Every structure is written in structure tokens, then in C-alpha cells.
Amino acid sequence: MQLRSTLFGTVTIAVLVAAGPVCAETLKSSIAFNTGIGEQTANQPTDGVEVAYQVDLKGGELDGCTVDVIEILVPREEGAWGFFDITGDVRCDRGGFSYSSSGAWDGNGFHAAGVIKEDSGTDAFKGISGRVAQLNGSGTAAADNTTDIAYDLVFDTTEN
């Protein structure tokens, strides 16, 4: 019985070591900006608008990083609600990574979800993978027909 228990323990340890370490971490920061910073790109869809902007991340694990965003917005029912697709490049002093997400908005706010792009991590983020969410999204009308946007940017990561 002792031999069987020792053998089982040795095999279990060997399987865990062979699988390699996987670390899960949640990276969360806030984004707040006015849509007036966005610039239309050269690639405009026929049923919406594509804009590019750069925003700083505030607070949390990505404080001080920036995100370069390309966003395609497709409004519906005269803009009362719609869809959007985002590709983003997170850049920090310690490296960066890219993600893509899709979401929807209406008069109550917006939300989105997506993935960290495979093999996009550099330096400290090398090997990063996982999911992304834009949560608690709000838009408030501002001057000059612009909107103040705010949301939590959350990455649920795994690193090999």
C-alpha cells in the first residue's frame, strides 16, 4: 500500500511539473476620455464610422500604460443603440500586448468582451493570453456634440 501511494504521488508531481506553470492574473484599470480625441481612419465602413484614439489607463495594475484603439461603431435605430468592434494595443514601460473585443450600447450604457491576441505579448507580457472585458461603460453628452466615455478595462489573463 505504501509503494502504491508513493508511486501515485510521484506520478502526480511529474504530471504537474510536465504541464508547466500557468499563472492567472486579473489586470484592471479605468479608461475615461472625450470622443473629441478620436480621428476618423482612412477605412470608413458604409454603415458606421471607424475612429482611432489613444488613451491613458488610470489606476489598477495597468496604471500609466496607454491604449491605442481602433473602433468601428455601427449605430442602429438612429443611434439609440448599436454595435462596436475594438482592436487595442496596450503599451507599458514593461511591454505590451494586443486585444480585440466586440460589444453593444444603448441608452443605459455599454459593455464588450473579447480576447488577448495570441503571441502579441512583448517583454513582461510575453506569452500572455486570456480574455478582455469592458465593463460599467457609460457615455455622457458633452460640449460640441461629443461624449464623455468611461469604463473599466479588465483582462483575465493566463501566462505560460
pLDDT in tens, 73-93: 999 888 789 999 999 999 999
What class, spelled out in words, does domain 22-159 have in CATH? Answer: mainly beta
Mean pLDDT of the 136-148 span: 93
Residue 117: pLDDT above 60?
yes
Q: What pLDDT sits at residue 1? A: 47
3-state helix, strand, coil in the chain (%, to 5): 15, 60, 25
Burial readout 56-74 (b: 16 or more C-beta within 10 A, e: otherwise): ebeeeebeebebebbbbbe
Residue-level pLDDT at 139: 92
User: How much is the pTM?
Assistant: 0.82
Supply the pLDDT for residue 23: 61
User: Residue length, the chain?
Assistant: 160
Residue carrying C-alpha cell 461629443: 146
| C-alpha to C-alpha distances, 134 to 1, 38, 143, nearest whole angstrom | 53, 18, 24
The torsion angle over the Cα atoms of residues 124, 94, 65 and 111, rounded to 10 degrees, is: 0
- What letter does residue 117 receive in the DSSP assignment? P
Q: Evaluate if residue 21 carries a pLDDT over 60.
A: no
Tell me how many degrees the CA angle 51-157-30 measures, rounded to the nearest 5.
50
Q: How confident is the model at residue 11 (pLDDT cuts 50, 70, 90)?
A: very low
Report pLDDT for 92: 97
Question: How confident is the model at residue 66, as a pLDDT?
Answer: 97
